[in-house]
Amino acid sequence: MRERFAPLVILLGLGVRFLLAGSYFLDPDEALHNLLASHTSFSLTWKAALTQAHPPLLIILLHYWHWLGRSELVLRTPMVLAGMGCAWFTYLWLRRITTEATAFVGLLLASFAPSLIELSIEVRQYALLLFFMAACLYLAERALQENSAPMIALFSLSLYGALLSHYSAFLFAGVMGVYVLVRLFPFGRRLTLFLTWGLGQAIAVGICVYFLITHVSKLRLEGMAQGIADTWLRRSIYHPGENSLLIFPFRQTLRVFTYLFSHGLIGTLALLAFVVGIALLLRRKAGANPRGPSARQIALLLGLPFLLNCAVAIAGIYPYGGTRHNAVLSLFAIAGIAIGLGVRSAHRSWAKPGIVLAALVVCNVFPSPPPLIRAHNHRRVLMENAMTYIRQSAPAGSVFFTDYESGLLLGYYLCGHGVVQELPPYEPFSKMQCGPYGVIASFPGEWKFYADSFPQRLEAADRQDKLEPGTKLWFFDAGWIEDVTPQFQKVLPQFGCDQPRMFGQNILVCQLPNISERNSR
């Protein structure tokens, strides 16, 4: 009976995502991905894509998707479709290894978990990663149950898509390799399937080695990975002497579930359900499907990703905790939660799915902790109002001073093209034309300005670009700035900006005297 409602859940999930995708202005990362995809040729786009800490598939996809348009909704549409494709494949996968009732709960979780909604309305790599992961899980299960070489070949193609989407897919590939080996043993019984899978794995290993040598190694030499690990992902990497090795796995696992549901209490309850699910699987021997995996094989598949991710975080290789970088764990978490809830397939047994749906509504309406840009500050109309104000207030010839993230947004919304540096070598500041205006923006290594160093950065930009007396100088700050806006509001009056114009809490515009005028005071 529940299978009749599955398409309705998918349609509702699509509707929610499309509504949100058209309601919010781009965040700086989204604007950056759009900019990198805007080059005129494939080779330049590939080169630009490799300046980021991700494989190039998303940027290449956007390069050709630009033929359809560049509005927020058009740019986000592939992620919306990938997000709901992930939910559908997750449902089909769970139907093959569990009961219909459990699969339906999994569909609800995959469709409406707040973090998965967020990831599938952003121009980022994660929706593609999750889509290919879900396809892998379903296709592998079909191949193993039906002894189908074509299905295992499709599984391999989906695995390549995941590997080309995000480097966390390396963890997923390792987990799937172990799981399929366990399911195929003894290997001679299904030799054709084993050899087809082995060939696909060899190609997957080749992809991993290629990017490790040509891309990841260069990122490590440039210090990008270490810089991230030492700053905003510091809590998700184990640091000897700062963290307890005994507490780290438990605390970070809780953070994974809190992130998935954007709610501390419900995330904790979800983690308990997951643990119950694993315990139930370990106690049983047979699976729900006689042709499918045993209960303990399912437990291996669901538990191994967490163990592996935690291990590499302790080794300092990849983060483990409450960030989008651990989206690779979400499908395994969802499956374990659905199994742990123990939803039975009795006729008209809708109580538990109803409770799950109510909990998801609470998570989405009252997120705790809230997103980096709160929904009411993220409305697209705020950015439109800011651009209207700039066009009406800033005369031709004005120059805008921005940090890198703000320059990305200014380029997209005001200029219609990039006004920041995209490819190395980088200068401390760049100056580019934006219609009748000029834009001075910092380099990628200085993503955001802070109030305590703002005067020095402004003077450094002036020394480089030699602003002439009489030039109208403006400061534009937008993106993930809510944590520093109050400090800026205290500093800016020193520069003649007594009343900066705010458009929500994440967009700030004000006019500054240029340095020569200020020094003459």
Q: DSSP letter at 427?
A: P
Q: How many domains does the chain have?
A: 2
Nearest to 150 by CA among 180, 91, 94, 192: 192
DSSP state at residue 411: I
Q: Which residue from 467, 499, 521 is spatially nearest to 393, judged by alpha carbons?
A: 499
**Pair (358, 382) in one structural domain:** no
Q: 175: which 2 tokens?
A: 């987990």
Cβ–Cβ under 8 Å, residues 471 and 399: yes
User: Both 18 and 132 in a single domain?
Assistant: yes
Q: Which pLDDT score, from 0 to 100, does residue 319 have?
A: 93
- Give the β-pairing of 473-478 and 399-402: parallel
CA distances from residue 514 to 349, 393, 461 in whole angstroms, order as listed: 69, 17, 11
* Nearest alpha-carbon partner for 29 in 47, 60, 54, 63: 54
What torsion do the CA atoms of 125, 126, 131, 134 make, to the nearest 10 degrees?
140
283 and 385 in a single domain? The answer is no
- Stated pTM of the model: 0.94
Q: Are residues 435 and 468 in the same domain?
A: yes
123, 28 Cβ separation under 8 angstroms: no
CA 116 to CA 86: how far, in whole Å?
Answer: 10
3 state SS of 478:
strand
Domain closes at, from 365, 392, 427:
365
Does 46 fall in a domain?
A: yes
How many Cα atoms occupy the beta-carbon half-sphere of 67 within 13 Å? Answer: 4
In degrees, rounded to 5, the angle at the alpha carbon of residue 192 between the alpha carbons of residues 188 and 193 is: 90
* Preceding amide of 369 cis, omega within 30: yes
Domain harbouring 425, CATH code = 3.40.47
- Give pLDDT, residue 483: 59
Provide the residue-wise pLDDT of the chain in tens; the chain has 521 residues.
577 889 999 999 999 999 999 999 999 999 999 999 999 999 999 999 999 999 999 999 999 999 999 999 999 999 999 999 999 999 999 999 999 999 999 999 999 999 999 999 999 999 999 999 999 999 999 999 999 999 999 999 999 999 999 999 999 999 999 999 999 998 888 999 999 999 999 999 999 999 999 999 988 887 666 566 656 678 889 988 888 899 999 999 999 999 999 999 999 999 999 999 999 999 987 767 778 899 999 999 999 999 999 999 999 999 999 899 999 999 999 999 999 997 555 555 677 888 999 999 999 999 988 888 999 999 999 999 999 999 999 999 999 999 999 999 999 999 999 999 998 889 999 999 999 999 999 999 899 988 888 888 888 887 776 566 677 889 999 998 765 667 777 788 887 787 889 999 999 999 987 655 555 54
C-alpha–C-alpha distance, residues 237 and 226, integer Å: 10
- Boundary-marking domain end, from 344, 365, 386: 365
Is residue 241 in a domain? Answer: yes
CA distance 375 to 365: 10
**Collapsing DSSP states into helix, strand and coil, what is residue 99?**
coil
Burial of 368 (0-12, 13-18, 19+ CB in 10 A): middle
**Residue 57 near residue 125 (C-beta atoms within 8 A):** yes
Whether residue 383 is found in the same domain as residue 330: no
3-state secondary structure of 360: helix
Instruction: Kindly report the three-state secondary structure assignment for every residue of 278-296.
Output: HHHHHHCCCCCCCCCCCHH
Which pair of tokens denotes residue 510? 């004000």
How is residue 189 annotated by DSSP? G
35 φ, ψ (degrees, to nearest 5): -65, -45
What 3-state class would DSSP assign to 499?
coil
Domain end among 318, 336, 365? 365
> Residue 168: which domain range?
2-365
Question: Are residues 191 and 275 part of one domain?
Answer: yes
Beta pairing class for 507-512 and 501-502: antiparallel
Structural tokens at position 335: 């499956």
Residue 485 lies in a domain: yes
Do 437 and 473 contact (CB within 8 A), yes or no?
no
The answer to whether 87 and 99 are in contact (CB under 8 A) is no
**Same domain? 203 vs 344:** yes
> What CA–CA distance (Å, rounded) separates 237 from 310?
9
Residue 174 forms part of a structural domain: yes
Contact of 119 with 130, CB cutoff 8 Å: yes
329 shares a domain with 432: no
Give yes or no: residues 284 and 321 share one domain.
Answer: yes
**Is residue 195 included in any domain, yes or no?**
yes
DSSP 467: P
pLDDT of amino acid 398: 92
In the beta sheet, which residues pair with residue 469? none
108 shares a domain with 10: yes
- Give the residue from 272, 217, 228, 227 showing the smallest Cα distance to 250: 272
Which positions ≥6 away from 298 have C-beta within 8 Å? 97, 98, 281, 287, 335, 339
Residues 207, 103, single domain; the answer is yes
Instruction: Determine, yes or no, domain membership for 251.
Output: yes
Q: Are residues 86 and 134 in contact, defined by beta-carbon separation less than 8 angstroms?
A: yes
Cα 452 to Cα 213, 232, 341, 475, 487: the distances in Å are 40, 19, 50, 16, 8
H helices of 98-166, where?
100-112, 114-119, 126-146, 149-163
> Would you state the pLDDT for residue 504?
92
What per-residue string of b and e applies to 429-442 under the rule 16 or more CB within 10 Å gives b? bbbbebeebbbbbb
Any domain includes 409: yes
pLDDT the model gives residue 488: 77
- Please check whether residue 370 lies inside any domain of the structure: no
User: Quick one: 351 and 384 in the same domain?
Assistant: no
